[in-house]
Structures are given as structure tokens and as C-alpha cells.
Chain A
């Protein structure tokens, strides 16, 4: 800018009191954008994240309405129709979903005249219904664990970082001990102690999942504690509670949300891992992990039982990762590429 003294032109009303006109500084070239608007704009520019969000929404909606789309239930067994390949009559022209396996029409062989869209498992249960019910269970476990971990992490980190001193030292040692055991081992042991079930898996995920969030919140809180706006609050007599939740937390919320987002695919994986080890949710309830470990047993004979749940799991995990990436870039552009 080479604005010299002479370029400044004063208008007659420049020195009048402002009164109610608060818009005097409105910039026409760079219109002011609210933070939310800015975040949404940055997020929408990321095509991968948008597609991922759409995919996740589709899978979530299917997990709600999918089980009701045909007449079967997830536990109803029809042993005479066991291990049927996928068949959708309307699609029979395309070479897949035509009910054949190794060139033989299994539906004709077993005398079945209805369609199982994703086939049946060795007990004759409809895999379409089981898949979407299982997806619902897996998503629920992951979401509850992510939210729970976020809460525990925030509280633990805020207390440890803000109070500091001896409290902080003790709390950090506890984290170190918990963190010294590989998380898969902790989860295995926790589920063993509590007997397999949805609740046990969620608690197992909550045992160590919060540590990352707690560490991050603690570090940020310690940094923010020294900032001038917090000191100003303290001088004005704000309570510790108010400083923590009104001053400190909003400043780290974007990082916390990103972290929680990244933990969802981890939780989905952990559930499937436990199922594979034999500590999944009990029969006949399905989950993605249960379906994969059941399908794995007949991988070479009936690959459809494994391929479909593995695909759904992979697409879900990939989408959540890309979505979290996009969220991080949108919420905190400074962190990009780190």
C-alpha cells in the first residue's frame, strides 16, 4: 500500500458520533463471514470429505431401514435354504446376484423360489437383514465409545492441565501405566472380565480410548492457562469452573471433535477384532465383526458371506477417515498436512 498522507480524504460526517450505526466499518471487498460459514465453506471444497459424508449417511440410513426391507429377521433360521448365494431377480442379467455358484443355480437345486438379496449363511439366515442389523450394532458401539471417550478425555485433561502440581503428576502416571499395556490386550482382558456383550465391548473401548484426548486437552489447557484472556477472567473473579468451560474448552473444541472423529474407525476395527478373537457379542445378534469372522470360516466355498461385510466395513472405515481429515482441515486450517 502506498497510501501517503495526502491520499486520505475526510468526509463531513467522519467525526460525528456513531450512534446506532454499527456498520461503519463494514468491508465491501472482504465481506465478514461468520466462523461457522467459513468452516462449512472450507469443508465443502473438500470433495473426498463430502463424498465420504454421503456414503456414511447412506450406510447409516440403510442400517436403520435395511432390516425392514424384506420379510426375514436376523435370527430366523431356514436350514433347508442354508448357504445360498446372493440373488436379486431384477439384476439377473449382469452376471452377479443371479443365485449361481460355480455355474450351478443353487436356488433351483434347493427348491427356493424367493430371493435372498445377499444370500444366506450356513444356518439359513438372511444375510441382507443380518448385514444391516450388524452395521447398526457396529455403528452404535463406535458412536457411543467415541462420545464417551470424548467426555472422559475432556474432564481428565482439563482437571490435570488446569490444576497442575501434584494432582497432574499422579494423573499423568496413571495415564502412563494404562498406556503401557497395548490397547488390544487391555480390551481383550476387559471383555473377558465382563463377559462378551455390547456393554462389555463399549466399556472395553472406554478403558483406554480417552487417553489421546486427555493428553491433548491437558497440553492445550496448560498453554491456554497462561494466556492473557484467561488471566483477565481470573482477575475479574471468574470461577475455575467457568474458566475451564467458557474460556479454555471452546478454544480446543475443534481439535477434540477431530480426534473423536478419528477414533470412530478405530472403534469399528476394535469391535471386529474382538469378534475375531471369539469375544464378540453373543449369538444370534450380528455385528460387522461377527459377520466377518463367521464368513471367514467359509471363505473358500462361499466367498459372498465374507466379501459383503468386509466391503461395508472397509468403506465405512475409509469414509470416516476421509471425513475426519476433511473436518480437521475445515476446523483448523493451520493444522493442515501435519
Chain B
């Protein structure tokens, strides 16, 4: 088991190294340089490039970057805040995005579980149909459509909640972004839960348990829920990360100063180090969450052997 975990972590680290390499190569192909402003002369640009080490060959720059990164230094920003460390820039924005993503995941999961359970218990009633309809909408439409609708009707027309994020109202101004971001996860989880629960409720061991005279509550909580909900865990991790990286548009609509809007402004100003830092952080979270989910899944459901089915 421990050997397996160690192996998985090593593979993940290797993958991360290659991802960093791919990102680095991609960025070096970017058209234009971060200093390509009309106000600068060729000599000034050369001085600036020498100052940031951009005049060295690509591979050497890559290894310098990796060496610095291992010491927690992700370089400095060129344009957003000149010479400001990228790590601090990201750190300031990360928590807002993380808060937004986590809350949206929690809200979406709770609502989704509730809807999915209701739909599976009240199978083939109007409640089931309504839930299915809601989840089709949530799965099909991008989060920003909900964001636009909410900010127009609830924020602007009815004037109930602020449509722009402000530090003065950290809670009320986050309600609309969280709501619009949680629609996708809600739909996905409701769909998943419904399918799994219907599967479990119709299984032979549930029939046996019922025949033996177990009360409905024990039947449901101890036997159905446990088996029906484990698969839901697998979607949670990747969902959180894709929520955080996918919230760029929603963040822009509500002017939330998060990682998404940081990446957008870095993209628009050719601020390579910031783009690299943010992209790498997203990848890191993605890979870590996949790993955690994989390992957790083996602990929760021993039928799935983590070490690749070698157990006899």
C-alpha cells in the first residue's frame, strides 16, 4: 500500500515536471515580448531582458526557473505590478478564488445530493422530472449564463444583492457568484446521485435486507446511502479544480479580484512569469486532487483495489 502511494506520488511529481516544461516552451513561443512597448528603444529592451535573464538560452532559463521555484521563488511580475514577486501576487488572489470555488463546490454538492436523493426516492414522479430538467439545464449551460441572468435580474432589476464584489460586503457580494458557479456541480452531482441510488435501490441485497424486515430508515441510511454515494466522491476533486480554473468568466462578470482575472490580465499584458505561475498552480491542484481522490477511493471502497487488482 505505502509502496503504491509512494510510486503514485513519484509519477505525479514527474508529470508535474513535464507540465512545467511544456508550459515554459509554450510561453517562449509567445509573440511579442513583455517590454515591447513603443516607448522603449532597442537598447532599453536589451537592458531589461538582461536584467530579467531573458537573454539566456531557453534551456538554461528553464533550469534556473526550476531551481528558483524549488526555493519558493516564481520570478517577478513584469507588468501587472513591476518587480513584484509572482508568488505574493498569486497568494493575494488565491484565497479569494479558493473561497469562491470551495463554497460553490460545497453549495453545489449539498444541493445536488439533495436533489438527486429526492429524485431517486420519488422516482417517476413530477419531482423526478423536475430534477432531471434542472440538471439537464445545469449540465448544458455554462456558469456565466447563470451569472449574467442572476446579475441582471436579482442584482440589477430587483436590486437585492450587489453585482460587483467589494471588500466591504465580503459575504453578500459573493452570494451571486457562488450561486452561479454552483449550478454546474449541482446538476452533475444530482444526475450522478440519482443514477447510482436507483441502481442501489433496485439491487438484490436491498431486496434481501427489506425481506429480513429492516426498517426503512436503517435500510436507507446504512445500506443504500453508503453504496450510492461513494462514486460521487470521484467527481468532487477534479470538479473543484475545474471550478477554480473555469471561474475566469464569472470572476470577470462580478469583478472578483481572483486568480482567474489575474490570469486574464497577465495574458493581455504578456506577463510571462505570472501566466506560468498561475497555470502551474492550476495544474498542481489538478494533479493533487486526482491523486487524493484515487487514494481515498481505495480506502472508502475496498472492493476497488488501489494497487491495480493484484489482490487475489
Q: Of A185, A272, A318, A321, which contacts B282 at CB under 8 A?
A: A185
On whether A181 and B22 interact (CB within 8 A), knowing A277-B249, A337-B198, the answer reads yes
| In the bound complex, CA of A296 to CA of B144 (Å) | 11
Decide: A278 and B264 in contact? CB cutoff 8 A. Answer: yes
Give the contacts of B110-128 with A (CB-CB under 8 A). Answer: none
Interface flag for B142 (CB, 8 Å): yes
Is residue B193 within 8 Å, beta carbon to beta carbon, of the partner chain?
no
Partner-A contacts on B (CB < 8 A)? 15-16, 18-19, 22-23, 26-27, 29-31, 136-137, 139-142, 144-145, 148, 151-152, 156, 195, 198, 241-242, 245-246, 248-249, 252-253, 263-264, 267-268, 275, 278-279, 282-283, 286-287
Whether A182 pairs with B22 at a CB distance below 8 angstroms is: no
What's the least CB distance linking B133 to chain A, in Å? 10
16 of the cross-chain contacts (CB-CB < 8 Å) are A181-B279, A182-B246, A184-B246, A188-B263, A190-B26, A193-B26, A193-B31, A269-B142, A272-B142, A277-B249, A278-B268, A279-B267, A299-B152, A318-B136, A322-B136, A322-B140
Residues of chain B within 8 A of A306, CB atoms compared = 148
Cβ A314 vs Cβ B267 within 8 A: no
Is the Cβ of A265 less than 8 Å from the Cβ of B267?
no
Which A residues are closer than 8 A to B by beta carbons?
A: 173, 176-178, 180-182, 184-185, 188-190, 192-193, 195, 265, 269, 272-273, 276-279, 296, 299-300, 303, 306, 310, 313-314, 317-318, 320-322, 337-338
- Flag if A182 contacts B242 (CB, 8 Å): yes
CB pair A195 B31 closer than 8 Å: yes
Contact A181 B283 (CB under 8 A): yes
Question: Does B31 lie within 8 Å of A189, measured CB to CB?
Answer: no
Whose C-beta in chain A lies nearest to the C-beta of B246?
Answer: A184
Smallest Cβ distance from A302 to chain B, in angstroms?
12
- Cβ B148 vs Cβ A181 within 8 A: no
Total of A-B residue pairs, C-beta within 8 Å: 104
Decide if A318 touches B242 in the complex (CB within 8 Å). Answer: no
User: Other than the known A177-B15, A182-B241, A184-B246, what 18 A-B pairs have Cβ atoms closer than 8 Å?
Assistant: A177-B22, A181-B22, A182-B246, A185-B278, A185-B282, A185-B283, A189-B279, A193-B31, A272-B144, A278-B264, A278-B267, A296-B253, A299-B148, A310-B148, A317-B142, A318-B140, A318-B141, A337-B198
With A180-B287, A181-B23 already in contact, the answer to whether A300 and B15 are too (CB < 8 A) is no
CA gap between A322 and B136 in the complex, in Å = 8
Q: How far is the CA of A265 from the CA of B275 in the complex (A)?
A: 27
Chain B residues positioned under 8 Å from A184 (CB to CB) = 245-246, 248
A196 nearest CB across to chain B (Å): 11
Q: Which residues of B contact A265 (CB under 8 A)?
A: 140
Are A185 and B245 interface neighbours, CB within 8 A? yes
Closest chain A residue, CB of each to CB of B163: A300
Chain A residues with CB below 8 A from B140, complex form: 265, 314, 317-318, 320-322
* A182 adjacent to B30 (CB under 8 Å): no
B145 x A314 contact (CB < 8 A):
yes
Known A-B contacts A180-B286, A189-B23; the reply to A276 vs B144 at CB < 8 A is yes
In the assembly, what is the distance between CA of A279 and CA of B145, in Å? Answer: 19
Do B148 and A277 touch (CB < 8 A)? no
State whether A193 and B29 are in contact (beta carbons under 8 Å apart), knowing that A188-B267, A303-B152 are contacts in the complex.
yes
Q: Give the residues in chain A near B145, CB-CB below 8 Å.
A: 310, 313-314
Contact present for B26 and A180 (CB under 8 Å):
no
What are the residues of chain B within 8 A of A314 when measuring CB–CB? 140-141, 145
Q: Is the CB of B26 within 8 A of A189?
A: yes
Instruction: Give the Cβ gap from A262 to chain B, nearest Cβ, in Å.
Output: 10
Known: A189-B275, A303-B152. A277 touches B264 (CB 8 A): yes
A180 and B15 contact, CB distance less than 8 A: yes
Inter-chain contacts of A176 with B (CB < 8 A): 15
B136 in contact with A180 (CB, 8 Å): no
Which of chain B's residues have a CB closer than 8 A to the CB of A189? 23, 26-27, 275, 279
Residues of A within 8 A of B27 (CB): 189
- List A contacts of B245 (CB < 8 A): 182, 184-185
Q: How far is the CB of A222 from chain B (nearest CB, A)?
A: 15
List chain A residues, Cβ under 8 A from B267. 188, 192, 277-279
